[in-house]
Structure 1
Amino acid sequence: MDEVFSIFLDTFGGPVDRQEVPTSSIERYRGKLPNILLEYWAEHGWCGYGEGIFWIVNPQEYEGVVASWLEGTKFESFDTYHLIARSAFGDLFLWGERTGASLDITGHLSRYAAHTSIYTGDQMDNGLRSFLLSIDVESNDYGDLFQPAMKKLGTLRHDEMYGFVPALMFGGPDTLDHLEKVKAVEHLTLLSQIAELEPYSFSDL
């Protein structure tokens, strides 16, 4: 195991609900995603970390989710994006084939943050390493609700997330009482259709 992934594991803890990655999936994304990510897939699989607060996922499962979020936005034609990771609450980490780790979407708030990565072209592997080293538990734990949600609702599987019902964009409260365990793809697709995707503003922070 390389040093970067070892540090990532020290930050989050060991894997949960691992799925083996078929060779066909690795070949499907060769040249589109960093080689080092494909190596991590082969060695570690797709799985959750930190008891399921952060997930490295199969981008193919989320192609429809990405398309639904980006439809009608400037990003739709700007680059080809793939979802490489997500949080338990629907924070989405997208990888652009040209622009690298350049777009994050907070699903439950319909907000995005765009970045200009210095790691493009032949620096994509370094970009992926930088991404993994920048991720922490706290930023993926919306309102410190992860542990209470896991205690109340149970541990997540690879295709599940914690979602607010009713959705926050419908005016629902962001409390534990309104969290449910939901299917990730279906819930994220629903959220993408509720409100227009807008950039974070300083008032959101």
Structure 2
Amino acid sequence: MTDITEFLTKHPLDKRTGTFAEGELEAYRDKIPDELYQFLQQEQKAVYGNGFFRTVSPKDFHDVFTNWGLDGDNCHAFLVSSFGCIEYYYNNDYCGFNPHTGTAHANSPSGYLGLLLNLALVNTTNLEIGFCYDMHLKHRSTLPELKEDEMYTLLPALPLGGDMETSRIETVRRDVQLDILAQLYNHKTTE
């Protein structure tokens, strides 16, 4: 099992919210690395860092990736931030996707989960750029706790002239907002 000590130091476990449905993770057994499969098996549905990160099932994001012009059959989500930014496995890399900026990038090109969790996802600069960590910290005390299918978003959205400093933050259904943002970015991501 991958050591996630540094990740848990930066983002302590808040709570376990349940387990994945029977067979849900097994469907991805041959599509994701053993270390990622074991991580999801161990952690199940969990929330970390005062609601900042949440483990997710890869199946729940297939359509999201496809809608953004990514390879939904081979992008396998496993973490999502409170602002809907997604960490996923694709083509031997661990990658991050920020729907507010429409960008996707490799976070751990060596393909090691331990490096990703204990190095990239504890680095404050990486978290701010890729996952809206600064926004989460700044506004967390005034925002409601998210349900499993919700995220925080910026209104107006960045492609509509919004700004990280002046846009207001709303709680929205994650699938709906990710679809709206995909439309605003013409269903394309940049790297």
| TMscore range, shorter length | 0.7 to 0.9
Change (3 A) 1:128 1:192: same
Q: Partner of 2:9: helix, strand, or coil?
A: helix
Instruction: Report what 2:22 is aligned to.
Output: 23
State the alpha-carbon separation in 2 of the partners of residues 100 and 159 from structure 1.
26
Change (3 A) 1:23 1:107: same
Instruction: Report what 1:140 is aligned to.
Output: 127
Q: Match for 2:147 among 129, 135, 157? A: 157
Instruction: Report what 2:85 is aligned to.
Output: 91
Structure with more helix by fraction: 1
Counterparts of 1:165-204 in structure 2, within 5 Å, are 165-175=155-165, 178-196=168-186, 197-200=188-191
Q: Match for 2:71 among 56, 76, 86? A: 76
State the alpha-carbon separation in 2 of the partners of residues 64 and 45 from structure 1.
21
State the alpha-carbon separation in 2 of the partners of residues 186 and 59 from structure 1.
17
Q: How far 1:17 moved relative to its partner? A: 5.2
Instruction: Report what 2:97 is aligned to.
Output: 105
Alpha-carbon contact 2:68-2:189 (below 8 Å) kept = no
TM-score under structure 2 length normalisation: 0.83
Partner letter of residue 160 of structure 1? E
Deviant stretches of 4+, over 6 Å = none
Mean CA deviation greater in 11-20 or 52-61: 11-20
Alpha-carbon contact 1:16-1:52 (below 8 Å) kept = no
Q: How far 1:20 moved relative to its partner? A: 0.9
Count of aligned positions: 185
Q: How far 1:115 moved relative to its partner? A: 6.5
Instruction: Report what 1:35 is aligned to.
Output: 34
1:106-132, CA deviations, whole angstroms, 9 ceiling, x for partnerless residues?
11011222468233xxxxxxx122221
State the alpha-carbon separation in 2 of the partners of residues 145 and 175 from structure 1.
9
Which structure has the greater CA radius of gyration? 1
**Structure 2 unaligned regions, length at least 5:** none
State the alpha-carbon separation in 2 of the partners of residues 112 and 3 from structure 1.
24
Mean CA deviation greater in 50-59 or 150-159: 150-159
Change (3 A) 1:155 1:137: farther
Change (3 A) 1:159 1:27: same
Alpha-carbon contact 2:2-2:35 (below 8 Å) kept = no
**Structure 1 unaligned regions, length at least 5:** 120-126, 201-205
Partner letter of residue 93 of structure 1? E
State the alpha-carbon separation in 2 of the partners of residues 38 and 90 from structure 1.
22
Partner letter of residue 99 of structure 1? N
Change (3 A) 1:26 1:3: closer
Alpha-carbon contact 2:85-2:97 (below 8 Å) kept = yes
